[in-house]
Amino acid sequence: MSINIRRTYNHTDSQDVLIEKLKRKQGGHENPFTLQIASHLISVSIKADELHWWSPEMALRLETEENKTIVFETIGPNPSMFTFSMFFVILGSVGFLASLMWALSLMAVGESSIIAWILNFVSGSLIVSIFGILALGRIKAADQVANLRQFMSEMIGT
């Protein structure tokens, strides 16, 4: 399963017209997304009642070129969740390398290295499990990514 995280849209209206469309849509009660608009940067995220740890966020950058607006879209995981998971991946990687060096050092001097190998296995398991959880989140987020894309297509009219 592949998710294209970067798309580009061409819009015939100006940036101001597109931003006004988004502002009108933002005020609607049926809108399932939270929009944050700052100049030519727009952040679209899932509302709190539908928000889960796997929920994606969309960032839109608007640029004007030859009397048309180009919209650059990027979809990715929630930044705080991604940072949290990468912390544990790095922690597991450091633990894996440290316990591997410790185990090999103990083997070189002829001592028992069973504890170091257990720590090595636990650290490796941490890394694999975090990547597995992230893959599960990516699969669960597919519907929300499709909803974000549909919302953007409706706004731009493509």
pLDDT band of residue 5 (cuts 50, 70, 90) is low
Higher pLDDT: 90 or 71? It is: 90
The single-letter code of the amino acid at 35 is: L
Per-residue DSSP letters for 8-50? EEEESS-HHHHHHHHHHHHH-TT--EEEEEETTEEEEEE-GGG
Q: Residue 1: its pLDDT value, please?
A: 47
Higher pLDDT: 28 or 96? It is: 96
Dihedral sign for Cα 126, 131, 137, 139, please.
negative
Q: Residue 4: its pLDDT value, please?
A: 57
Over its C-alpha atoms, the chain yields an Rg (Å, rounded) of 23
The answer to whether the CB of 148 falls within 8 A of the CB of 58 is: yes
5-19, 97-111, 128-142: range with lowest mean pLDDT: 5-19
Residue 111 reports pLDDT greater than 90? yes
Q: Residue 33: its pLDDT value, please?
A: 83
Token pair of 113 as six digits: 């290295």
Higher pLDDT: 18 or 96? It is: 96
Q: What letter would DSSP give residue 109?
A: H
The torsion region of residue 31 among left (phi > 0), alpha (psi -120 to 50) and beta comes to: beta
Q: Residue 28: its pLDDT value, please?
A: 64
| Nearest CA among 40, 35, 76, 92 for reference residue 61 | 40
